[in-house]
Structures are given as structure tokens and as C-alpha cells.
Amino acid sequence: MNPLLGLLQPYPFERLRALFAGVQPDPAYRPISLGIGEPRHATPEFLTQAYAQAVTRQSGGLASYPSTAGDPALRQSFADWIRKRYGLGVDPLTQVLPVNGSREALFAFAQTVVDRGADPAVKPIVVCPNPFYQIYEGAALLAGAEPYFVAADPARNFAQDWDAVPAAVWARTQLLYVCSPGNPTGAVMPLSEWDKLFELSDRHGFVIASDECYSEIYFRDEPPLGGMQAASLLGRHDFRRLLSFTSLSKRSNVPGMRSGFVAGDAELVRNFLLYRTYHGSAMSPVVQSASTVAWADEQHVVANRAMYREKFARVTPMLAEVLEVALPDAGFYLWARVAGDDTAFARDLLALYNVTVLPGSFLARDVQGVNPGAGRIRMALVAETAECEEAAQRIVQFVRGRTSIQDFQPVSLTSPSTHDRSAPKNH
């Protein structure tokens, strides 16, 4: 077996299952999960129709092998969307490429970029935010690289302190993962930060992978700045050493379709296409056809964004009464500070009120004895508004029931709870 597999840590949801082992939630409450960031708004009807039509049509459908490079109409739809969204012109033949969702692409890209033989005596580095999307770490490790984590600073809107990274680390860096809007923080990286990273990339030669899968769920009038947009504003019109990743999962509520694209540096796209050709990761012709339709329509995206805006407007003030939490720049997570241990908070919330949240420490790594996710929880507001409101009400009741962190004791997993249960119940 590949010995690098032994370096992988349990996925956050494996750790969550272990944490909840033996917990018996109060049956008076129906279960509500804010733990998994899986879009749950309805898939637009026109997309399901487009998918069905693609399956049944005589030419194409399921009767032909897909092209890894993608149908020309699909690649043109990517270029058209980039023009509408960012005001940028890209070559659909050389600067975009379909992928089977951003998760698969983010992993595969590291296998394309990392050069383990550059200096056998020196291990290459992949720089990641901390906390982070766990695929970054797995991709780095299985590419034979060493992950280096840069903590998000709550005092600076969860920005990473790039200046704190030693020059010796940058010298070994071959790939940098950027997540903007961030998972789990929801923070959008400003132009000044992009400028700093591009300068570092020019100086040290590393590639930037910009994960932008939450870019279309935002709460203010101005949409989030994208990596390619930042590059263009800074005069980097060739997008050198930059590849942006996006998908339809959150934008169009089709996580099961596994559809997205990458765009940017033509040389990176060319090499990524070569890797994907041999990897056998071509997008199904049916998915290609439906995706072409999805990228051409913005009306359903506006409607989806409006639902999230209403939901966050209702839920965030409720939770802010008892937790340190604020409306993020973008995304569908709330990243809240809690009193005490985040794992105990999540376990006891489940036991007493049957609400699932994800401990923040599961999304981060200890660096010099500090875990920047500790003492926080991630809440995915992906369910319908009423369900998210009910979850928030239960959380408020739970927190208020903890008289103080000094007096709080985790509930017994076998003894009946005496916690206040005046929150709404569904019998």
C-alpha cells in the first residue's frame, strides 16, 4: 500500500461520529443538523429538465465517451460567465477546463503541480490556511509534500498573516491554497492580500490555487473579489501561476451533479488537462450538457442568494445574543466562538437539544501548540429558514442554560438530563 495513506488524519465527520458515540439525544426534539455543508435548497426545475433531456436525446446522452477537455459549448459557457461575473476575457480553448466539482479538482491539482524530485533532500511545501478545507492537507500529503498552516486572525477578519511565514518556508513552497470566501470563516480576501501573494509567487515561483466555490453566496451588494479579477486589477492579465476553482454545487444547488471548472494560467490548464486525461476524470456528456445551461442562467442564482440572505438575517441576530458571531462576508457558514471546549459544546448540544454543529478544532491543526479552530463551532445554514431558526432557538436556550463556564459540567451520556427544555419541540 501507498505509505503516504498512513499520514492522512481522520476526516472531520469521522471525528464527529466518534465524538457522538454513546450520545442519546433527547427524543422530544427532532434532529436538526447544522454540521455538514451540503446545499439543501431545491435544485432548479429547469436544471433537472435539462439533465433529463440530455440523457434521452439520441445524439450524445449516455452513448458516447466524454471529452476530458469538454464540449466547446461548455467551455464557452465558462468564458461567458467569467466575462459577466468579473468583466474578464478568457480564451475558452486554453484558459478554462471542466472538472468534476471543485473538491476533486483541488485534490488532483496538487498531484499535477508538486515536484517531489526538485531536490530529493528537501521536501516541497504546500501552504494552507488554518482552519481549512481538509482536502488541501490530503492533497499535499499524497503528493509527497509537507503542509504548512497559516492561522486565520479573528482580529483581522480572519485574514492569514502571510508576513509571519518564514522566508525559508516560502523558498520550499510549490503550491498555495487560498480559500476566498473562506471555509469556515466566510472571509473574503482583499486586493491588498492578493497583491502580497502575487509578489511572493513571483519571488519564489509557487502556484496559487484559489478555491472560490462559495463566491455566489454573499450578503452585501458587491460580490466577492475573485483571484483572476484581482490579478487583472494588478496588471497580471496572463494570470500567471494562478488557477481559480469554482463549481455549481453551492451556486445552483446541484452537489450531486459534480460539476465545476478551473480557469487561469494557460500553461497550468494545459498541464492539468494532461494529468486529467490519464487520470480518467472526464465529465459525463449529460452533466456537460446540463452544466452549459446552468452557467448561462443567473436568475436562479439570484433567487438562491436571496434565500440565504433572509435566513442569515433572521438567524445571526438570535445567535449573537449568546455567542460571539457575526454575519460573514460570504458563504453559508456561521463561525462562532463559544465558551469553553468546542467538542464538549457540540456533544452536549446534541444530547440536550438534538442539534448538530461541527467543532471548530476538527477543521484546524495544532501549530506550536495552538489550534485556531478551538473554542469555535461551524454552523451550516443550509436547511430551510424555519428549521435554521428552530435550531438557533435551541442553541440560545442551551447557552443560556449554562450559568457560567466554571459551573458548567458536560451532561452524562447515560443519565436523564435536567437541562431547561422550554425551547420549541416537535413531537
Residues β-bridged to residue 176: 127, 208
Measured CA to CA, the distance from residue 141 to residue 125 in angstroms comes to 10
- The answer to whether residue 68 sits within a structural domain is yes
320 and 369 in a common domain:
yes
Side-chain-facing half-sphere of 282: CA atoms under 13 Å:
15
Instruction: Report residue 352 as a C-alpha cell.
Output: 440536550
Contacts of 413 (CB under 8 A, 6+ apart): 22, 23, 24, 351
Nearest to 312 by CA among 337, 330, 338, 339: 330
DSSP 5: G
Helix (H, G, I), strand (E, B) or coil at 101: coil
Encoded amino acid at 73, one letter: A
Nearest to 363 by CA among 382, 389, 336, 325: 336
Measured CA to CA, the distance from residue 179 to residue 160 in angstroms comes to 11
- The answer to whether residue 410 sits within a structural domain is no
Encoded amino acid at 75, one letter: R
Residue 120, pLDDT score: 79
The CATH code of the domain that includes 36 is: 3.90.1150.10
Task: Return the number of other C-beta atoms located less than 10 Å from residue 56's C-beta.
Answer: 9
Give the total residue count for the chain. Answer: 427
Task: Encode the chain (427 residues) as per-residue pLDDT tens digits.
Answer: 999 999 999 999 999 999 999 999 999 999 999 999 999 999 999 999 999 999 987 666 788 899 999 999 999 999 999 999 999 999 999 999 999 999 999 999 999 999 998 777 889 999 999 999 999 999 999 999 999 999 999 999 999 999 999 999 999 999 999 999 999 999 999 999 999 999 999 999 999 999 999 999 999 999 999 999 999 999 999 999 999 999 999 999 999 999 999 999 999 999 999 999 999 999 999 999 999 999 999 999 999 999 999 999 999 999 999 999 999 999 999 999 999 999 999 999 999 999 999 999 999 999 999 999 999 999 999 999 999 999 999 999 999 997 444 444 444 443 333 333 333 333 2
Measured CA to CA, the distance from residue 47 to residue 300 in angstroms comes to 10
52 and 35 in a common domain:
no
- The answer to whether residue 405 sits within a structural domain is no
59 and 120 in a common domain:
yes
- The answer to whether residue 135 sits within a structural domain is yes
Contact assessment for residue 189 and residue 215, using Cβ atoms and an 8 Å cutoff:
no
68 and 126 in a common domain:
yes
- The answer to whether residue 137 sits within a structural domain is yes
358 and 277 in a common domain:
no
Helix (H) or strand (E) holding 261: strand 260-264
384 and 250 in a common domain:
no
Measured CA to CA, the distance from residue 228 to residue 79 in angstroms comes to 12
Q: Look up the pTM and report it.
A: 0.93
Measured CA to CA, the distance from residue 337 to residue 394 in angstroms comes to 17
- The answer to whether residue 164 sits within a structural domain is yes
The CATH code of the domain that includes 121 is: 3.40.640.10
329 and 290 in a common domain:
no
Residue range(s) defining the domain that contains residue 325: 3-42+300-400
> Among 281, 297, 313, where does a domain finish?
297
Return contacts of 118-127, CB within 8 angstroms, 24+ apart: 118/174, 122/172, 123/172, 124/172, 124/173, 124/174, 125/169, 125/172, 125/173, 125/174, 126/173, 126/174, 126/175, 126/176, 126/177, 127/165, 127/169, 127/173, 127/175, 127/176, 127/177, 127/206
Contact assessment for residue 255 and residue 249, using Cβ atoms and an 8 Å cutoff:
yes
Count of domains forming the chain: 2
169 and 73 in a common domain:
yes
167 and 30 in a common domain:
no
Residue 412, pLDDT score: 41
Cα dihedral across residues 203, 187, 88, 71: positive or negative = positive
238 and 152 in a common domain:
yes
166 and 136 in a common domain:
yes
Residue burial 155-175, b: 16+ Cβ < 10 Å; e: rest: eebbbbeeeebeeeebebbbb
317 and 252 in a common domain:
no
- The answer to whether residue 273 sits within a structural domain is yes
- The answer to whether residue 145 sits within a structural domain is yes
Nearest to 397 by CA among 334, 344, 341, 354: 354
